[in-house]
A and B are shown apart, each in its own frame.
Chain A
Amino acid sequence: MRLNKIILSFVSALVILFSTSVASFAKVVGDKIILGAAISLTGKYSSNGVHTQNGYNMAVDRINSMGGVKVGGKTYKFDIIYYDDESNPKRAAQLAERLISQDGVEFMLGPYSSGLTKAIAPVTEKYGVPMVEANGASRSLFTKGYKYLFAVLAPANLYLDVAIDLAVEKNNGKGVTVAMAFEQDAFSQDVRLGVLDAIKRTGSKKVIDDKLPKELNDMAATLVKVKQMKPDVLVVSGHTKGALTAIRQISEMKVDVPMLAMTHCDAAKLSKQHGKNSQYALCASQWHKTLTYKDDFFKDGMTYDADFTKEFGYAPPYQAAESSAALLVFKDAFERANSFDQKKVRDALAATNMQTFYGNIKFAPGGQNVDKPMVLFQVMCDDAGKCENKVVAPTKWASAKLIHPIPSWSKR
């Protein structure tokens, strides 16, 4: 009898606990719109995961302090439930399930990296949960016919094709020779496809096409080939380790190449880690603080840069800026939908056409942002060795003139 009582009270306690926890995490509670996000706070993507979280938090604070989101004549504030996906795609997919089916979240923010977004997208799609993501650029995300996935960033194939166009322009419109070294992950291979398209389009020629391994820390073989073949452009994409290894070995091996274009320069803190050796490298970026886009919340890139630096103690990489932009997109969509119905919010997201401090945002049917070009900046250093990233392309936003060809190592 006594045992039965104990069991009964234990079960009732569990039921009460479970029901309250579900109620407290429902999609809209009181004046709060609760968004869910699985972010890499530990594991190999944790640095960029933290940038993503900081970007989200900064936008939540800003939107909430400036009046929040107005839906149906009532004002709501954003709140985010975070889980750590440990940089693991399987874990990310489990957490997305948990956020949706246990915590009752009905709107999601994206994780960091294309790989993790790929893992989460089928889950959000299955439950019809609109997800605005800011850090998954792989082209394959946008060719699967997802209806609830929206990316504020430009797809990966647009990262470095601008560099080939620029090299052709400098070569008086004639095709150039291109050496390529790309890591074998989804993102870098998409960047490669974009470069291949540009090579075909401009009548250029590929002379080296090396694939870099995941555990890359030596690309001397590729660079020896570059020395031998003397291409007009060397393109490297292998996340931060690719950028760091390339600059270290190019400077040590004195490899002269007229143009060097790469990705992940600011994530790799190239100019800080390599100083003057990184000078003249061209880097693809989703955003730069000097771009002249504006919005009501963060004003412009320079203000965002200053505010973010003040709050978090470091200058915002583009991963943070695009994450903040994702919240602005959600706010705009909620207000236009004037409802929390997932279908209506999804349709409002699909019809987005706005400008943020990060860039214009307009989604193609596949979910990618088609209204924001990539920018290329070049690392430029003064005589004292202080280096800065200056936008050199597209010309509309250029704050400095492209230095081309790169002076040879013997003249530096």
Chain B
Amino acid sequence: MDFMVFQYPMISVQACLDGILLGILFALIAYGMALQWGVMNIINIAQGDLVILGGYIAYFMYLYGIHPAWGVIVAPVIMYFVGIAIYKLVINKVVDRDLFISILATFGISILFMQLMNFAFGADVVLANSDYGTTMLFNNNVVLPNSKIFSAFISILFAICLVIYMKKSKLGRAIRATAQNARAAKILGVDTEKVYAATFGINAALCGVAGALISITFTIHPYMGLPYTIRSFMIVIVAGLGNLPGVAMSGMGLGVFEEFADYILGTEFRIGSVFLLLVLILIYRRFKLSRKREYLK
């Protein structure tokens, strides 16, 4: 254990800011997961792989001399159609089935995507350079790469746009109606099949945006998707479905938690600490629920 983070206050500030910026990006991915989980009752294990695929779109734009930041516009468009295609081919067959079946199906999609990306793009670790420079704060003691600030800004922008879209547009209202009660929505004339396809497409598009941002901020690799799936799952579990402010807060909290775990326990326990937190939260929730049940009795 290393408590350097508490000995030097500036390191704490750095960890908090890094965590918040990172958490906002996680929250965007988790929001997509929460949306389709809420509407379709599907836990998408391939969430992280969709993110990485979005990252490759930005990376290829960068390879062909286009600034990778444009990826945040191009990747979601392409990924939307990828999402629709996955829905038509696989998800629509499992959407009304048991949750376990959908987990198995998306797990299969995840493995397929990993192998296909590896086959198509190679096994090399790649990244897209944005050359955005660095912001120095507090007399150069806190350093924030502008790519991280850009990522957080774009994530917030997309989240706001999506909230407005869900509230104002016809499709948004149909999605919300289906999430509340699919059967009633169907009786009242909502084409739930279309709503499901669009929801999966929107989720894939959000993953596309996040992937493009990750290729600018970190690195991408065909087998790097799973940690993003786990983080999204964790955020959604904490925040609950259909609770955007909750997802945002939970995302940022997770980001800060990860950063501090990194400093205190070491980088090797970073993902492990997320798992531990997930287990603790599930135990706490169960405990709370059982008390509530007792009270009701």
Contact = CB atoms under 8 A, between A and B. Distances in A.
Interface in B186-225: 218-219, 221-224
Interface string A201-227: 000000000111101111111101101
Interface in A166-212: 181, 184, 210-212
A241 B267 contact: no
A274 interface: yes
Contacts of A245: 218-219
A248 B127 contact: yes
Contacts, number: 103
B279 interface: no
Contact of A219 (B2, B224, B227, B267): B267
A241 B266 CA distance: 18
Give the bracket for the number of chain A residues in contact with chain B: 35 or more
B92 interface: no
B18 A273 contact: no
A43 interface: yes
Interface in A146-163: none
A215 B147 CA distance: 21
Interface of A: 42-47, 87, 181, 184, 210-213, 215-222, 224-225, 227-228, 239-241, 244-245, 248-249, 252-254, 268-269, 273-275
B240 interface: no
- Which 10 A-B pairs give the minimum distances between C-beta atoms? A252-B145, A211-B268, A217-B218, A221-B262, A241-B125, A46-B123, A253-B143, A217-B219, A240-B125, A213-B268
Interface in B85-131: 115, 118-119, 122-127, 129
Given A46-B118, A241-B221, A253-B143, A212 B124 contact: no
B80 interface: no
Contacts of A225: 2, 4, 11, 263
B145 A213 contact: no
Contacts of B4: 225, 228
A124 B143 CA distance: 52
Contacts of A224: 11, 14-15, 263
Contacts of A248: 127, 129, 218-219
A221 B259 contact: yes
A241 B218 CA distance: 10
B265 to A, nearest CB: 10
27 contacts: A42-B118, A44-B223, A45-B123, A46-B118, A181-B267, A211-B266, A212-B268, A217-B218, A218-B22, A220-B14, A220-B18, A220-B262, A221-B15, A221-B262, A224-B14, A225-B263, A227-B143, A228-B4, A228-B8, A241-B219, A245-B218, A248-B127, A249-B145, A252-B143, A253-B134, A253-B145, A274-B129
